Amino acid sequence: MNTIAVELNGRPVQREVCARMHLGDFIRDEGRLTGTHLGCEHGVCGACTVLVDDKPVRSCIAFAVACDGRKVTTVEGYDADPVMALLRPAFSRHHALQCGFCTPGMLATARDIVLRFPEADEPKIRLELSGNLCRCTGYMGIVAAIRDVLAQCGGDAYPEIAAMRQALRAARGEAVPMVRTPFATFEATDTGMAAPPAAPRDEPAPAQGAAADKGTRIQGYFSVPFAAAEVWRFMADLPAVAACLPGAELTEHAGDRVKGRVAIKFGPMSASFNGAARLERDEAARSAVLKGAGQDTLSQSRANGDVAYRLVEVSPAQTRVEVDLLYSLQGPLAQFSRSGLVKDFVGRLIQEFGKNVALRMDPARSPDAPLPPARLNAFSLGWSVLWSRIRRLFGAGD
C-alpha cells in the first residue's frame, strides 16, 4: 500500500492505495467522481481520458501512484476552464454527443487539440481524435464543434486561451508545428447485391468533387438495354431521373438546379430530407455529378452528398452506369450513416433505380400512357438485403 496526495479538481485528496490501482478507479472510488467513464480498460477507446497536469491521460492504464503530487482534472472540474467554456456549448450546438459515454474523454482530447493545434484543419482534427471512439455520433458533429471553437478563438480573440497556448509552447521550448496529415476514411464498395458480378474493368477517373475524405462512400452500378447516347440524353432530364428514384420528389426545377425532398424509411429509421441539388455534366466523358444538401425536418439532421456517375458502353445496345455515392450526415441520424446494413440498402436502391430507368426508357411504352410512380417495397427490399447477407455469410452467394 502507498499513501498518495493528488489535487483532484482543485481539492486535495490523500489516500492509501494499492500500488496497482489505476487512476480511473482512484477517481471514481476514492474521489467519488463518476463522470470519468471506464470503457475498454485497455487504453484503446479513450472514454476515460482525463487531464494530468493539463495533459490528456488514459486513466484506465495510468497508475494512481504515478500521479502522486500532480494535478488531475476530470469532466466535473472544467467550470473555470476558458477552452471548455467554448467547447461544451459547441458540442451541444453541433449535436456532438448522444449517449454521452465517450463525451468526457472527447472533451479532454478536444481541449488538447484547440490548445496545441490552433490552425488544425479537418484531417488533422480527425487524426488527433482517432484515439477516442464513439458508437453514436458518426464524428461529424464532434469535428464540427472543434472547428467551431478553433474559429472562435483564432488569434487573440480570447486572451486567456492565447496565453495558455503560449505557455504550452514555452514549456516545450519551441513552437508546435501545424502538421497537416492526410486522413484516409473507411470506404465500402457495393457491387450491386442481387446483380451479377461486374466484369473486371479499369478504375474510373476520380469523381468530380468527390473527395474521399468528406464522408462515407458507396459504389455500385446498373445496366440498361439502351445505347449510351440514349441513356446520356435521358440522364439530363432531371424530373424524369428523379421519378426513377424511390422516395424522391421534385418541387422546383430550373436548368441544372432542382429543389425537392427525399423520403427514407428503413426499419426504425425514417426521415424526409428537404434540400437542393446542382447537376454538373461532362459531355465528352459522359460523366456527371449531382451535388446536393438537405435537412430532415423531424430530427434536424443535415445531409451533404455527391452522386457521381459515368456511362460505359458495353455494346451498341447495352450501357453500364457506374455510380459513386459520397455522403455525410450530421445530427441524430449520423449514427446510421456507416451501418453495413445501410450500405447494403443503398446498394439495392441503386439497383431499383436502374430498373426504373430501363422501364421509363422503354420505347414500347406509349408516350401518352401515364408512367407509374417509382415505389419501393421496404419490407421486400429489406428482406432481400438480409437474405443476400445470409447467403454471403454461408458462401451461397459465391
Which pLDDT value is given to residue 202?
A: 38
Residue 391 has pLDDT above 70, yes or no: no
Q: What CA–CA distance (Å, rounded) separates 215 from 136?
A: 16
Look at 49-63, 300-314, 362-376 and tell me which has the smallest mean pLDDT.
Answer: 362-376
Average pLDDT over residues 322-350: 72
Which pLDDT value is given to residue 336?
A: 58
Query: For all residues of the chain together, what is the average pLDDT?
Result: 81
Residue 303 has pLDDT above 70, yes or no: yes
Task: Looking at the structure, give the CATH architecture of the domain made up of residues 82-172.
Answer: Orthogonal Bundle (1.10)
Given 3.20.20.140, 3.40.50.1370, 3.10.20.30, 3.90.220.20, which CATH number is that of 2-77? 3.10.20.30
For residue 303, list its beta bridge partners.
294, 329
Q: What CA–CA distance (Å, rounded) separates 203 from 192?
A: 17
Considering the chain, tell me which residue range(s) the CATH 3.10.20.30 domain(s) occupy. Answer: 2-77
Spatial CB neighbours of 378, under 8 Å, sequence gap ≥ 6? 265, 266
Alpha helices (runs of H) in 38-158, residue ranges in sequence order: 82-93, 103-116, 122-129, 140-152
Residue linked to cell 455494346:
315
Provide φ and ψ at 127, rounded to 5°.
-65, -45
Q: How confident is the model at residue 195 (pLDDT cuts 50, 70, 90)?
A: very low
Average pLDDT over residues 89-116: 94
CA 353 → CA 25, 331, 382, 392, distances in Å?
A: 54, 27, 16, 23
- Say which CATH superfamily domain 187-393 falls into: START domain (3.30.530.20)
Q: What CA–CA distance (Å, rounded) separates 287 from 295?
A: 27
Nearest-Å Rg of the Cα atoms of the chain is 26
pLDDT tens digits for range 66-75: 999 999 999 9
How do strand 287-296 and strand 302-315 relate by DSSP bridges? Answer: antiparallel
**What percentage of the chain carries pLDDT values higher than 70?**
76
Q: How confident is the model at residue 209 (pLDDT cuts 50, 70, 90)?
A: very low
Which pLDDT value is given to residue 334?
A: 65
Residue 390 has pLDDT above 80, yes or no: no
Which pLDDT value is given to residue 395?
A: 60
Spatial CB neighbours of 86, under 8 Å, sequence gap ≥ 6? 114, 149, 152, 153, 158
Considering the chain, tell me which residue range(s) the CATH 1.10.150.120 domain(s) occupy. Answer: 82-172
Which pLDDT value is given to residue 218?
A: 84
Q: What CA–CA distance (Å, rounded) separates 358 from 223?
A: 8
Which pLDDT value is given to residue 207?
A: 38
On the 0-12 / 13-18 / 19+ scale of CB atoms within 10 A, 26 is buried
Which pLDDT value is given to residue 214?
A: 55
Look at 196-200, 215-219, 225-229, 338-342 and tell me which has the smallest mean pLDDT.
Answer: 196-200
Q: How confident is the model at residue 299 (pLDDT cuts 50, 70, 90)?
A: confident
Average pLDDT over residues 8-22: 94
CA 307 → CA 217, 283, 323, 361, distances in Å?
A: 10, 17, 7, 21
Q: How confident is the model at residue 337 (pLDDT cuts 50, 70, 90)?
A: low
Which pLDDT value is given to residue 197?
A: 37
Which of helix, strand or coil describes residue 34?
A: coil
Residue 199 has pLDDT above 50, yes or no: no
Average pLDDT over residues 238-258: 86
Residue 212 has pLDDT above 80, yes or no: no
For the packed helices 82-93 and 159-172, what is the interaxial angle rounded to 10 degrees? 110
Residue 389 has pLDDT above 70, yes or no: no
CA 395 → CA 320, 352, 381, 398, distances in Å?
A: 27, 24, 21, 6
Considering the chain, tell me which residue range(s) the CATH 3.30.530.20 domain(s) occupy. Answer: 187-393
DSSP 43: S
pLDDT tens digits for range 339-372: 555 666 777 788 888 888 888 888 887 656 665 5
pLDDT tens digits for range 135-186: 888 899 999 999 999 999 987 889 999 999 988 888 876 544 444 434 333 3
Which pLDDT value is given to residue 138?
A: 85
